[in-house]
Amino acid sequence: MDKPVDLQEPLEELARDPTRFSHDLKFPPPEKIRVYDDTLRDGEQMPGVAITPKDKYELARMLSDIGVHIMDVGFPAVSESERETLRLVLDGRKRGELRPDLEVVCMMRSTQGDIDATMKVVDSLGYKRDEVTYFIFTSASDLHVKYKLGKMLLRREGIPESEWLELPVWFYRAANLRMMCEAIRYARAQGATSIEFGGEDGSRADVNYIAELHSEGLRAGGTRPSTPDTVGCYSPFAVREYIPQIKAAAPDAPLVVHFHNDLGIGAWNTVVALGSGAEVFTTSVNGIGERTGNAPMHQVLLQLRYLFGIEIPGFRYEKLRDLARHLELVSGIPVQPTEPGIGLNVFSHESGIHTAGMLIHPAIYQFIPPEDMGAKIEYVYGKHSGAVVIEHALRDAGIRPEPKLVAGVLEEVKRIREERAEQTDFSDFHRRYYEHLNRLGLTAAEVVDIAKALIAH
């Protein structure tokens, strides 16, 4: 059987449409949803990953081409490498190699020094200060506000550090809010017109305090609040409960959500957040990032498209696999073969039962059309293969699939695969794989060796 059969009934009558189920999510119109890429900043913070400005620019070009709306290029104020990335991206956008509507975001803390340093970089590159978005961030959870930022907040308030542990949480909340709003007002006064803002560790913060940060940040001149699940501990049920409350504090401004993947639900949390009031979602290519990574771009987009029928206008889904392969090359981090949509094996079949069904009609064992992802169905031959797929391979090669020949080929395929299994030792591959990952970053011993060498000189 060389071609799939023609179904005599509509597919949706033979198999339930995956979008047909009840839910209480209310999504923005697809044209209002914004894809915000964090690969060049948060993604690169994955241990051992370091991407050169040249490679970041190539990623930026591919991200622009695929249809991303917003791109975070990192902290140009603190790194020459990130300043060069910003230059390449702004120059590329000016030349038309990146889309003119691609929004470029620079990160900075809620300090005048960080804002001045970022603006100085933009000035030195010959661009207007309003050609980038300034992301002025602080913290939101009491754990962060008192114990991470506490001493710095005390210095700002002119209070001795000896008071650190004794002062109550409400003091630090108020000081933190003042600091963020002063920074936003200062950036606005210095020429910023697009200002994103928000507090780290939002998923463990008091939702009323997040609401205050957002409403006061807008009053100070901010334009877009952002709430992150910094440690990846949000439940989809918590997202459904808290995101509407956060959105209600600033109903007229677009809300950015940012999820990490520590429990493997970063993408699903992102989708639920979009159905609960958010319009802008941050993700990274291949889900790279700290610890278990960020919400993976491909997973969010596939869930929206195939479970809710939401397609982002202008987004080129068929380019996701090429983008995934490119990031593997420049980051050194491989994608698992079973990764939804972009993994090597997701459109491959070996099992005899599966391949026989696929050859009747692909929808029998595959509900995502591979052409949607720029892929095609592949058949792998081995111990699980059946006669039907052998016949298919022979026909494709112009060989008449006589039953005796098919049986002989099938027997030999299984024998060779079993023989290879007996002879295969994956220990060397396993060792080299983990050696590769461990070599991406420097070890503590290498750091100490550097220190000793500098002391000796």
pLDDT class for 1, splitting at 50, 70, 90? very low
Instruction: Report domain extents, the chain.
Output: 30-331, 348-424
Domain 30-331, CATH among 2.60.40.10, 1.10.645.10, 3.30.1180.20, 3.20.20.70: 3.20.20.70
Tell me the Cα Rg of the chain.
26
pLDDT exceeds 80 at position 5 = yes
pLDDT value, residue 255: 98
Q: What is the pLDDT of residues 176-230, one digit of tens each?
A: 999 999 999 999 999 999 999 999 999 999 999 999 999 999 999 999 999 999 9
What would the pLDDT profile of 75-87 be if each residue is shown by its tens digit? 998 889 999 999 9
pLDDT at residue 166, rounded to an integer: 96
Give the global pTM: 0.94
Whether the per-residue pLDDT at 28 is higher than 70: the answer is yes
Please tell me the predicted confidence (pLDDT) of residue 437: 87
Pairing of strands 103-109, 34-37: unpaired
In this predicted model, what pLDDT tens digit does every residue of 142-178 receive, in sequence order? 999 999 999 999 999 999 999 999 999 999 999 999 9
What is the identity of the amino acid at 387?
A
Rounded Cα distance between 404 and 384, Å, is 19
pLDDT digits over 410-444, tens only? 899 889 888 888 888 888 888 998 889 888 888 88
pLDDT averaged over every residue in the chain: 94
Tens-digit pLDDT profile for residues 206-216: 999 999 999 99
- The answer, yes or no, to whether residue 352 has pLDDT greater than 90, is no
pLDDT classification of 2: cutoffs 50, 70, 90: low
- Token pair for 288: 């790279």
Widest pairwise Cα distance in the chain: 90
For the cut 80, the answer to whether the pLDDT of residue 250 exceeds it is: yes
371-418 residue pLDDT tens: 999 999 888 888 888 888 888 889 888 999 999 998 999 899 889 888
Average pLDDT over residues 292-302: 97
Burial class of residue 414 (count of CB atoms within 10 Å of its CB; 0-12, 13-18, 19+): middle
Give the mean pLDDT of 289-315: 97
Integer CA distances (angstroms), 254 to 59, 79, 102, 198, 344, in order: 26, 30, 17, 13, 36
Give me the pLDDT at residue 138, please: 98
Q: What percent of the chain has a predicted confidence (pLDDT) above 70?
A: 100
